[in-house]
Amino acid sequence: MDKIDYSIQYKKWHNDSIEHYENSSSYYERNFSHLLPKDKEANILDVGCGFGLAIYAMKKMGYVNVMGIDISPQQVDACHKKNLNVELVNDSVKWLEEHQNEFDTIISLDVLEHIPVEHHLRFLKAINKALKMDGKFVCTVPNANSTFASRWRYVDWTHFTSFCEHSLEFVILNSGFKSVVVSEIEFMKRPKFPFVLRKSIIHWILFKTMRYFRRLEAIAELGAEGKTIPLSLNILAVAQK
């Protein structure tokens, strides 16, 4: 495959300003801090780390042994400019296979959808091997149940697929993990003062209202299953080795 500059796509939503790193940190802390090891010296790896936003956030949380790998020279360069411990790799699977039993936690956020389906099992098995015994794997992927699932699938030319909770559970369990829990993960944060009318509150009310009707639609179409399927744009999987 021809070499491409993935940062062209990445920069539609992210930039390498320190303000963006700081603002993004609250998202990662809100959604992932409870999934990270209690030991601040635990070995944590971010596979497909992009600009290193999650790594930056974890360092702010006090984690001292956090590193990332990525195949994009442009994105790794952005990480190095922020003094983040990130390595440029040609083959992520090969790198993982060469670092077996090294990491307490591995995260891979919005990465699996960029990998051809026929390579998913090998990629996830390599992650499993790179984890220590009882290690944890955390990933996010586009949610095929979402109202905007089609846009979320095709907004990026390098996406190969999207997932629902069942397909994501299936591929992770078939990669050697002993358990996995799949759930919603939200980009939007509940306003601190939801009764004070302002622009963010109106957005929040619209979001909650439309999500309510979307839930009714899911129940109408799927019955009891519709009560619990994740409806967020992305879904989160937490797997145990």
Domain ranges of the chain: 7-188+230-240
Taking the model in full, what pTM does it have? 0.93
Any idea what DSSP says for residue 41? Answer: T
Percentage of residues in the chain having pLDDT higher than 70: 97
Percentage of residues in the chain having pLDDT higher than 90: 85
Q: Are 236 and 182 in contact (CB under 8 A)?
A: yes
Q: CB 127: neighbour CB atoms within 10 A? A: 29
pLDDT tens digits, one per residue of 38-68: 999 999 999 999 999 999 999 999 999 999 9
The highest-level CATH class for domain 7-188+230-240 is alpha beta
Helices 165-173 and 120-130, interaxial angle, to 10°?
Answer: 60
